[in-house]
Amino acid sequence: MTLPRIQSLVLRRRVQAVTIALLVPFLAVAPLHLLMPATAKAHGLSAPVQVGTSFSPARAAYLGLDYRSAFKRLEAMHFRVIRLGSYWDEIDQDGYSQLDWLMTEAQRAHQPIVLTVGMKALGWPEFFVPPSVLDVSRLNAGQDVASDSGLRDATLGFVQDTVLRYRDNQELVAWQVENEPFNRAGPQRLWIDATFLRDEIKSVRQLDGHHRPLIVNAFSHFNLVFDQASARQGFDLRQMLGFDADGAESDSLSVLKPGDVLGLDVYTAIGYQFLGQDHLSRADADWPDRLARLHDLAKRQGKQAWITEAQAEPWESSGTTDTNPKSTSPQAMRSIFENLKDSGYTTILFWGSEYWLWRQDQGDARWTDTIKTILRGESRAPLMTPSV
């Protein structure tokens, strides 16, 4: 992946301004769900949390970090798990050498790993399809990319190659199949349908041989107006009125088996520009209750629920405020963590590891210090045991 393709430090996704403009008329009905009673939490004493993070060599390089030393710095913090991505376009161009190093280093250091496979991976521009397979920029906006038969076949081939390459790594604890497949994402807000995702899941199960759990994740910002931009079904009046809609979370659960993992990516403040002005979209006040309901729903189905991304770096409307962000802070990271823990989640992966290390190198250790404090507080959490 070339660095110019990474739009900015915090721009994991781009929500088109025209989409926001179309949603503005619904602001009048959006608050209606707040009249609904909140769910009382009944989890009792919270269990210690398995705290993890995600890591991208490309994001590290964008910030001027050597990916090898950055990864070792994260290992030294003793996360229960680190999530990595297999970036198809990069591997198609340069081979598996970079990912080989990360997976080998993790095995040497006994660092548990989650590995994503498929055409989508962690970070902007979401879809990492090699140009030799398909120029996704020519697809129609909002299209299901799996409608292209050539791309389906090529993706299954890439999944097979990656699973066969790493299935015997003793530190691999789970596979994540695609990244937010049911959310529209990237410059053209593309998505992946359930039928093809099931084909990928079936392939991973058959090839793995070690009965590892599979993860399917969904984007969960929980602002009922703003989130319509990533919902492939478009405007959802039921959700506006406070009912639990059939969105990406329920679709993700539908393709998983008991023992598998529903992953939720949680962002409580997102900056965006509209009509030339900077704005901040905040999650509604009841977001912890809604996450608690999703946790309990997964549990009733015999499935796990993890937070695969908890916001722990800025998501600003522009890169000019990266060092003095409005969207998050070390204190906000702690607050999000406590709310997630109180909602019943016992595995929480923070998003933003490259940013913390960069801030530390710039003389601001507050971000890494906050994470280290959380890790110390959850030191009694059980180790993740690989299935090999």
d(CA 228, CA 300): 27
pTM above 0.95, yes or no: no
The pLDDT value recorded for residue 275 is 86
Query: Is 151 among the domain residues?
Result: yes
Q: Across residues 361-375, what is the average pLDDT?
A: 98
Q: If 0-12 CB within 10 Å is exposed, 13-18 middle and 19+ buried, where does residue 69 land?
A: exposed
Over the range 341-379, which residues count as b (16 or more CB within 10 Å of their CB) and which as e?
bebbbbbbbbbbbbbbbbbeeeeeeebbebbeebbeebe
Residue 34's pLDDT is: 40
- CATH number of 107's domain: 3.20.20.80
325, 366 contact by CB (below 8 A): no
- Closest-CA residue to 119 (of 189, 205, 177): 177
pLDDT band at 6 (very low <50, low <70, confident <90, very high): very low
How many domains, in total, are found in the chain? Answer: 1
User: 149-165 pLDDT, tens per residue?
Assistant: 999 999 999 999 999 99
Is 197 within a domain?
A: yes
Residue 128 in domain: yes
User: Which band of pLDDT confidence, cut at 50, 70 and 90, is reported for residue 221?
Assistant: low
- For residue 388, pLDDT beyond 90: no
The pLDDT score that the predictor gives to residue 224 is: 60
Of 221-235, 277-291, 303-317, least confident by mean pLDDT is 221-235
Look at residue 386 and tell me if it is in a domain: no
388 domain residue, yes or no: no
Is residue 387 predicted with pLDDT exceeding 80?
no
**Domain contains 384:** no
| Tens of pLDDT, residues 35-93 | 444 444 545 578 999 999 999 999 999 999 999 999 999 999 999 999 999 999 999 99
Angle, helix 366-377 to helix 353-361, in steps of 10 degrees: 130
In this predicted structure, the answer to whether residue 366 has a pLDDT above a threshold of 80 is yes
The angle, 0 to 180 degrees and rounded to 10, between the axes of the packed helices 330-342 and 287-300 is: 40
Among 231, 272, 189, 227, residue whose Cα is nearest residue 17: 272
Better-scored residue on pLDDT, 237 or 73: 73
Mean pLDDT along residues 264-281? 90
Q: What phi, psi does 142 have (nearest 5°)?
A: 80, 10
Residue among 319, 315, 294, 290 nearest 304 (CA): 294
Range 162-188 average pLDDT: 96
pLDDT tens-place string over residues 80-98: 999 999 999 999 999 999 9
pLDDT given for residue 8 in this prediction = 43
Q: Which of 235, 252, 120, 135 is nearest to 186 (CA)?
A: 120
* For residue 233, pLDDT beyond 50: yes
Report the distance separating Cα 220 and Cα 293, nearest Å: 13
pLDDT of residue 220: 82
383 located within any domain: no
What pLDDT does residue 11 have?
44
Angle between helices 149-166 and 194-208 (to 10 degrees): 30
Give the mean model confidence (pLDDT) for residues 100-114: 98
Q: What is the pLDDT of residue 241?
A: 40
Pair of tokens at residue 107: 């095995």
What is the tens place of the pLDDT at every residue in 277-289?
Answer: 888 889 989 999 9
Does 39 fall in a domain? no
Low-confidence winner among 34-48, 193-207, 225-239, 267-281 (lowest mean pLDDT) = 225-239
Q: Which domain holds residue 244?
A: 3-34+45-377
The residues, any chain, with a CB within 8 Å of residue 137's CB and separated by 6 or more, are 187, 188
Residue 21 confidence (pLDDT) above 50: no
Determine the pLDDT at residue 279.
Answer: 87
Q: Where are the beta strands (DSSP E) in the chain?
A: 50-54, 81-85, 113-117, 172-177, 214-220, 261-266, 269-274, 277-282, 304-311, 347-351
pLDDT of residue 135: 93
